[in-house]
Amino acid sequence: MHVRTLGQGLQVSAVGLGAMGMSQSYGPNPGSREDMIGVLRGAVEHGVTFIDTAEVYGPYVNEELVGEALEPIRDQVVIATKFGWNIVDGTMQGVDSRPEQIRKVADDSLRRLRTDVIDLFYQHRVDPDVPIEDVAGTVAELVQAGKVRHFGLSEAGAGTIRRAHAVHPVTAVQSEYSLWTRDPEPEVLPTLAELGIGFVPFSPLGKGFLTGTVDATTAFSAGDIRTRVPRFTAENLDANQALVAYVRTIAEAKGVTPGQIALAWLLAQQPWIVPIPGTRRLSRMTENAAATTVALSADEVADLDAVAARIGVSGNRYDENGMAMVGL
């Protein structure tokens, strides 16, 4: 596995692992807790050293899972988690990045993750009621105290990133980015390049769409977040198939999978981009990790860009409430 460097010299595997789906968002988990521990430890065995979780996943149970799985190999991994929600009786009640809340979440996350330091601590969503300078200053205090190593932001706009970075260096920004979600390109990515901040795309496979395994006939199980995502209505999925069809032609020519092409496209964008595809299967994890060996020529990248631009995407990536929480 290749190694890439985010901001502030933080080195991680070129492809990480998003753990969220092991605990929520994609319907009942077909595997047991022991299976998920096996996937997490198997990822590390395959060179994936960058693991992403958050207090709100579950809530709380995903951090506990990651903590149990990685405790014996803690020195081999970089663990990222997130703060920024008001969680009441297991339910999100809006954002909350007050300094006292950030400090509390840090202590609680450390306990659940079974570690004495959080490698990368993201603000999960921007809180309009708390100046980002106060957020950055609070994380800086946690860094000074030795509880946190690096500061990150998720789904933040360019202006917010600049303001935060002026108070305490931002190591990474995490936002949705893939062949069919290009929102960060106009402003966020140029800002990160200027400031020397890494970028961590979540949903780099379009919540499974870019693997070629989802189409208008797909029936999602109860509790699957995609039942609430406009982009995943049957009509929009049908309209979006043209993009996957083109990705598949390139994959077949190279003898790889559509998902590996989608990840290789991301890796070709910048050397400081590290996607974190999520999975609950060891076989899919190894497939994703192997995307680092898939080489795309400049012409192939340009062709993918041109086709994606020409086809466009039908449907928003979140419902109305979700879109309201995005700062891009």
Mean pLDDT lowest among 35-44, 164-173, 209-218: 209-218
Average pLDDT over residues 166-173: 98
Mean pLDDT lowest among 47-56, 194-203, 261-270, 303-312: 303-312
Residue 247 clears pLDDT 80, i.e. is over it:
yes
Six token digits for residue 167: 């108070």
Residue 108 included in any domain = yes
Total length of the chain: 328
Residue 326 included in any domain = no
Alpha-carbon distance 126 to 181, whole Å?
Answer: 20
Residue 234 clears pLDDT 80, i.e. is over it:
yes
Mean pLDDT lowest among 24-33, 50-59, 82-91, 163-172: 24-33
Alpha-carbon distance 169 to 6, whole Å?
Answer: 12
Strands (E) across 128-250 are located at 148-154, 170-176, 198-202
| pLDDT tens for each residue of 270-312 | 999 999 999 999 999 999 999 999 999 999 999 999 999 999 9
Residue 217 included in any domain = no
What's the structural domain count of the chain? 1
Residue 250 included in any domain = no
Residue 180 clears pLDDT 80, i.e. is over it:
yes
Q: Are strands 91-95 and 85-88 parallel, antiparallel or unpaired?
A: antiparallel
Mean pLDDT (the chain) is 96
Residue 268 included in any domain = yes
Residue 97 included in any domain = yes
Q: What is the pLDDT of residue 114?
A: 98
Average pLDDT over residues 227-240: 93
Provide the residue type at 143 as one letter: V
Confidence at 152, pLDDT banded by 50, 70, 90? very high
At 167, which CATH number? Answer: 3.20.20.100
Percent of the chain with pLDDT over 70: 99
Contact 12, 49 (CB under 8 A): yes
Q: Are strands 148-154 and 17-18 parallel, antiparallel or unpaired?
A: unpaired
Give the SS3 label for residue 122.
strand
Average pLDDT over residues 239-268: 97
Q: What is the pLDDT of residue 328?
A: 61
The boundaries of the domain holding residue 156 are: 3-207+262-294
Marked catalytic residue, from 57, 177, 246, 318: 57
Backbone angles phi, psi at 16, to 5 degrees: -100, -170
57 catalytic per annotation: yes
Residue 85 included in any domain = yes
Residue 247 included in any domain = no
**The model scores a pTM over 0.85:** yes
